[in-house]
Amino acid sequence: MAANELNAAHRWRSYYAAYGFLAAALVVQPGVNFIGDREGSEHEAISSLVANHLKRPMGARTRSQVRLGVVGLYESRLKADFRRREPIRRQMATEALKRVATIANAVGKLEL
């Protein structure tokens, strides 16, 4: 049970780290406006915002990896938060960490 909880924490925390990296990169892009006084987008929109507003600073392959990574992390976060009966395996947690590392590296290379 404790290992399951630890793996779940890695998955959802990884998503929020990736979301934070991407929101920081997007907020300085022309044409990006978040709703109200928010500092980030709606969760479902983050992949589309990456596709539409990070074309210039991020290559197509990297942008595709980032989009797939954030979608996968979001799905994992939903499983961890709302489908607690599904077992969370070490492989899933490790994959989440790899995805967030890919996103962090891609955003880290941007000139913001």
Q: How many domains does the chain have?
A: 1
Average pLDDT score over the chain: 84
Q: Convert the pLDDT of each residue in 93-109 to its tens digit.
A: 888 889 999 999 999 99
Cβ atoms within 10 Å, residue 69:
26
Q: What is the pLDDT of residues 7-60, one digit of tens each?
A: 555 555 789 999 999 999 999 999 898 888 788 889 999 999 999 999 888 999
Rounded to the nearest 10°, the torsion over CA 101, 104, 108, 110 is: 120
- Per the CB < 8 A criterion, the answer to whether 100 and 18 are in contact is yes
Which tokens hold the place of 9?
Answer: 């924490």
Place of tokens 């595709």: 64
Angle at 31 between CA 25 and CA 34, to 5 degrees: 65
Which domain range does residue 38 map to? 2-108
Report the alpha-carbon distance of residue 54 to residue 6 in Å, rounded.
Answer: 33
